Structure 1
Amino acid sequence: MVTPPAHDSAPFCPLTSPPEVVRALPPVTSRGATARSRPRPAPLRDPGQEPPWILVPGNAAVPASYRGHPYVYPGGVGPEGEPCRQLLSLFVITNLGALALYLLFGTLSYYFIFDHELKKHPQFLENQVSREISYAVRSLPWISVPTVALFFAEVRGYSKLYDNIEDSPYGWSGVFLSMLSFLFFTDMGIYWIHRGLHHRLFYKRFHKPHHVWKIATPFASHAFHPVDGFMQSLPYHVYPFLFPLHKVTYLGLYIFVNVWTISIHDGDYRVPRLLRHVINGSAHHTDHHLYFDYNYGQYFTLWDKIGGSYKSPTSFEGKGPHDYLRKLREKDPGASNGIGASKKDPGASNGTVASKTEQRAPVPDDVTSVG
Structure 2
Amino acid sequence: MKHPHFLENQVRREIKYAMTSLPCISVPTVALFFAEVRGYSKLYDSVDDSPLGWSGLFLSMISFLFFTDMCIYWVHRFLHHKLIYKSFHKPHHVWKIATPFASHAFHPVDGFLQGLPYHIYPFLFPLHKVLYLALYVFVNIWTISIHDGDYRVPSALSSVINGAAHHTDHHLFFDFNYGQYFTLWDRLGGSYRQPSALMGKGPLDLIRKLQAEGKLGNDTAKVNGLAQRGASCKQE
Query: Which TM-score applies when normalising by structure 2?
Result: 0.95
The structural deviation recorded for 1:295 is 0.2
Gap runs ≥5 in structure 1: 1-118, 362-371
Answer with 1 or 2: which has the greater Rg: 1
Q: In the alignment, is residue 171 of structure 1 matched against residue 53 of structure 2?
A: yes
The answer to whether the 8 A contact 2:47-2:128 is kept is yes
Q: In the alignment, is residue 260 of structure 1 matched against residue 145 of structure 2?
A: no
Q: In the alignment, is residue 221 of structure 1 matched against residue 100 of structure 2?
A: no
C-alpha separation in 1, matches of 2:112 and 2:130:
22
- Which residue does the alignment assign to 2:124? 242
> How many residues matched?
236
**Once superposed, what is the RMSD of the aligned Cα atoms?**
2.0
Structure ranking higher on relative contact order (CA contacts 8 Å, 6+ apart): 2
The answer to whether the 8 A contact 2:88-2:107 is kept is yes
The structural deviation recorded for 1:149 is 1.4
Query: Which TM-score applies when normalising by structure 1?
Result: 0.61
2:30 paired residue among 148, 152, 155 = 148
The structural deviation recorded for 1:331 is 1.1
C-alpha separation in 2, matches of 1:312 and 1:338:
32
- Distance 1:320-1:349 versus aligned 2 partners, 3 A rule: farther
Q: In the alignment, is residue 312 of structure 1 matched against residue 191 of structure 2?
A: no
Give the secondary structure class of the aligned counterpart of 1:299. coil
Give the secondary structure class of the aligned counterpart of 1:120. coil
- Which residue does the alignment assign to 1:110? none
C-alpha separation in 2, matches of 1:169 and 1:337:
64
The answer to whether the 8 A contact 1:123-1:338 is kept is no
C-alpha separation in 2, matches of 1:350 and 1:248:
51
Q: Deviations over 1:225-270 (max 9, x none)?
A: 0000000000000000000000000000000000000000000001
The structural deviation recorded for 1:155 is 1.9
- Distance 1:165-1:122 versus aligned 2 partners, 3 A rule: same
C-alpha separation in 1, matches of 2:222 and 2:52:
56
2:19 paired residue among 137, 141, 149 = 137
Q: In the alignment, is residue 162 of structure 1 matched against residue 82 of structure 2?
A: no
- Which residue does the alignment assign to 2:233? 354
The answer to whether the 8 A contact 1:121-1:339 is kept is no
- Distance 1:120-1:126 versus aligned 2 partners, 3 A rule: same
Gap runs ≥5 in structure 2: none
The structural deviation recorded for 1:341 is 7.0
The percent of aligned pairs where both chains have the same amino acid is 72
The answer to whether the 8 A contact 1:122-1:338 is kept is no
2:183 paired residue among 281, 301, 306 = 301
C-alpha separation in 1, matches of 2:23 and 2:204:
35
The answer to whether the 8 A contact 1:267-1:283 is kept is yes
The structural deviation recorded for 1:349 is 3.6
The answer to whether the 8 A contact 1:124-1:341 is kept is no
- Distance 1:126-1:334 versus aligned 2 partners, 3 A rule: closer
- Which residue does the alignment assign to 1:123? 5
